[in-house]
């Protein structure tokens, strides 16, 4: 059995994807035989959180501590080197299949209440492929308990660099502000990107720039914004709706088996939102939240001689 549990294959036209039971993760997305996202093997755990769903919070919580509704809570420190709780509670859980057909799969998780998160939230994530529009992901969270619940959501796909080194990749990021963090990678403020190396609004080659940074202040068109990752061999556009007001961009030199990738992580809130309250979703009993994002492959840019 694969280390990530049951594998759910979907396809439409020239698009193919594999979604996994553990973490409801996107293990593989390919178009016309070429990887659109970084892929890892069935006998591997997701490298660097590759493709996983981040609920009930994305990114980090300082010290794993927060207060809500007049009570203080402590979560396990899953990033022990800097003492944070990172990427939520669904990352290593087995999600249950609700529906699976040729072009779509829905996985669900009833988050098990624990001392650090004594709330009841059910999350369903649907991955669907469209022959024209590529991958479309829809998430729904519902408070199934009797108490208000804090909530945030994020996703952690890596867009493939098509065999190119990370420095040769061009990133277009329509964000006006970068989130400034401290040594624990927890936000301490925001900074306008204008006049800095992080101004990628018109697109630029990464070169020596490496990021593990959050961004906000996105320009939207028709209720959506998008980040583009391009190489001479093609690329991809990751779009997200207005419920995702933040994006974390992570540019490691390698993700899996020496292959590079650019993590473009749509998030409903920034790191440490359980403490700061910034864009925190509070679900009343029986209340739901929904959001969507997706990936569309981009063709190579041919030079005009």
Q: What is the pLDDT of residues 94-151, one digit of tens each?
A: 999 999 999 999 999 999 999 999 999 999 999 999 999 999 999 999 999 999 999 9
Q: What is the pLDDT of residue 257?
A: 84
**What integer is the mean pLDDT of 50-57?**
98
pLDDT in tens, 59-74: 999 999 999 999 999 9
Q: Is the pLDDT of residue 226 over 50?
A: yes
> Which of residues 276 and 300 earns the better pLDDT score?
276
pLDDT of residue 1: 75
Encode pLDDT of 22-44 as tens digits: 999 999 999 999 999 999 999 99
What's the rounded mean pLDDT across residues 170-184?
A: 97
Cβ(141)–Cβ(153) under 8 Å?
yes
**DSSP annotation string for the chain:** --TT-SEEEEEETTEEEEEESBTT-EEEEEETTEESB----TTS--GGGTT-EE-S--SEEETTEEEETTEEEE---SBTTTTEEES-SSTTSBPEEEEE-SSEEEEEEEPPPBTTB---EEEEEEEEEETTTEEEEEEEEEE-SSS-EEE--EE--EEE-TT--GGG-EEE--EEEEEEE-TTS-EEEEEE-TTSTT--TT-EE-TT---EEEEEEE--BTTEEEEEEEETTEEEEEEEETT--EEEEE--S-SBTTB-EEEEEEESS-TTHHHH-TT-EEEPTT-EEEEEEEEEEE---PPP-
Q: In the chain, count H helices and then E strands.
A: 1, 27
Q: What is the mean pLDDT of the chain?
A: 96
The domains of the chain, with CATH numbers, are 7-162+250-298 (2.70.98.10)
- The SS3 of residue 122 is strand
Please count the CA atoms within 13 angstroms of the CA of 229 that sit on its side-chain side.
30
For residues 200 and 263, what is the distance between their CA atoms, to the nearest angstrom? 15
Nearest to 22 by CA among 8, 34, 36: 8
Beta bridge partners of 296: 237
Confidence of residue 209 (pLDDT cuts 50, 70, 90): very high
Q: What pLDDT digit, counting tens, does each position of 264-285 carry?
A: 999 999 999 999 999 999 999 9
**Residue 305: per-residue pLDDT:** 29
pLDDT reported for residue 304: 33
- Contact by Cβ (8 Å): 87, 64: no
110-125 pLDDT tens trace: 999 999 999 999 999 9
> Contact, 106 vs 98, CB < 8 A?
yes
Bond into 262 cis (ω within 30): no
> What pTM did the predictor assign?
0.96
Q: Identify the pLDDT of residue 193.
A: 98
Give the pLDDT score at 303: 43
Based on the number of CB atoms within 10 Å of its own CB, is 69 exposed (0-12), middle (13-18) or buried (19 or more)?
A: exposed
Proportion of the chain above pLDDT 70, given as a percent = 98
Give the pLDDT band (50/70/90) at residue 300. confident
Phi/psi of residue 302, each to 5°?
-85, 135
């Amino acid at each position: 059995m694969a280390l990530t549990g049951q594998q759910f294959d979907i396809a439409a036209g020239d698009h193919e994807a594999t979604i996994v039971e553990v973490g409801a993760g996107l293990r593989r997305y390919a178009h016309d035989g070429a990887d659109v996202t970084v892929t890892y093997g069935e006998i591997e755990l997701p490298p660097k959180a590759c493709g996983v769903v981040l609920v009930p919070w994305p990114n980090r919580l300082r010290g794993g501590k927060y207060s809500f509704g007049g009570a203080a809570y402590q979560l396990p420190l899953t990033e022990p080197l800097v003492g944070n709780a990172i990427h939520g509670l669904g990352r290593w859980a087995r999600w249950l299949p609700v529906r699976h057909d040729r072009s779509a799969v829905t996985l669900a998780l009833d988050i098990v209440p624990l001392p650090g998160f004594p709330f009841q939230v059910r999350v369903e994530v649907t991955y669907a492929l469209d022959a024209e529009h590529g991958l479309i992901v829809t998430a729904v969270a519902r408070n199934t308990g009797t108490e208000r619940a804090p909530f945030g959501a994020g996703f952690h796909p890596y867009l493939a660099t098509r065999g190119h080194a990370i420095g040769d990749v061009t990133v277009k990021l329509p964000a006006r502000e970068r989130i400034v963090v401290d040594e624990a990678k927890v936000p301490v403020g925001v900074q306008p990107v204008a006049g800095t190396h992080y101004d990628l609004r018109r697109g630029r080659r990464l070169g020596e720039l490496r990021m593990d940074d959050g961004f906000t202040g996105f320009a939207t068109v028709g209720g959506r914004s998008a980040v583009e990752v391009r190489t001479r061999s093609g690329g991809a556009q990751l779009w997200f709706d207005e419920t995702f007001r933040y994006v974390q961009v992570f540019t490691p030199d390698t993700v899996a088996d020496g292959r590079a990738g650019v993590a473009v992580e749509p998030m409903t809130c920034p790191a440490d939102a359980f403490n700061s309250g910034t864009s925190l979703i509070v679900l009343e009993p029986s209340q739901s939240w929904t959001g969507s994002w997706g990936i569309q492959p981009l063709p190579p840019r041919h030079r005009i001689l």
